[in-house]
Amino acid sequence: MSNINCAISGITFSCEHLPITITKGEGYFHPIFALPQKKLLPLFSEHCMGHLTHTDSYLLFLAYLHSTEQVTWRQPASCSPADPATIKLIENNLRQLIEVIELTNIILLPSFTQPSFVVDSDNSLLQQVPNWILAWDKNIADFKDGNRAIRFQESVKKLENKLSYHILSGEQPKNFSHIIASWADKAAGFPLDRSEQWQRVIRSCFNSEKMFSTPLPLLKEIKAYCEENLEVGSIHFHTLYATLKEGISRHTDFLGLSSEALGYTLLPSDCSKGEAEIEVIKALATEEAPRRIDYSSDVDFLRAKLRYAVASRSTSATQTNTPDKETN
Q: What is the pLDDT of residue 83?
A: 95
Q: What is the pLDDT of residue 261?
A: 38
Q: What is the pLDDT of residue 32?
A: 94
Low-confidence ranges of the chain (pLDDT < 50): 256-273, 325-328
Query: Do 51 and 131 have their domain in common?
Result: yes
Q: Which of 143, 160, 191 is the last residue of a domain?
A: 143
Query: Do 90 and 26 have their domain in common?
Result: yes
Q: What is the pLDDT of residue 119?
A: 95
Domain assignment of residue 55, yes or no: yes
Q: What is the pLDDT of residue 285?
A: 74
Q: Which of 122, 143, 164 is the last residue of a domain?
A: 143
Work out how many domains the chain is built from and give that number.
3
Query: Do 222 and 104 have their domain in common?
Result: no
Query: Do 299 and 189 have their domain in common?
Result: no
Q: What is the pLDDT of residue 270?
A: 43
Query: Do 133 and 206 have their domain in common?
Result: no
**CA atoms within a 13 Å half-sphere pointing along the CA-CB vector of 314:** 17
Q: What is the pLDDT of residue 317?
A: 62
296-to-19, 194, 210, 251, 286 alpha-carbon distances in Å: 104, 32, 15, 20, 16
Query: Do 235 and 263 have their domain in common?
Result: no
Domain assignment of residue 196, yes or no: yes
Query: Do 15 and 134 have their domain in common?
Result: yes
Domain assignment of residue 136, yes or no: yes
Query: Do 215 and 270 have their domain in common?
Result: no
Over the stretch 71-126, which tens digit does the pLDDT of each residue have?
999 999 999 999 999 999 999 999 999 999 999 998 887 788 999 999 999 999 99
Query: Do 42 and 73 have their domain in common?
Result: yes
Query: Do 17 and 78 have their domain in common?
Result: yes
d(CA 54, CA 47): 9
Domain assignment of residue 159, yes or no: no
d(CA 61, CA 135): 18
Domain assignment of residue 148, yes or no: no
Domain assignment of residue 165, yes or no: no
Domain assignment of residue 327, yes or no: no
Domain assignment of residue 150, yes or no: no
Residue 73: domain span: 2-143
Query: Do 134 and 27 have their domain in common?
Result: yes
Query: Do 248 and 264 have their domain in common?
Result: no
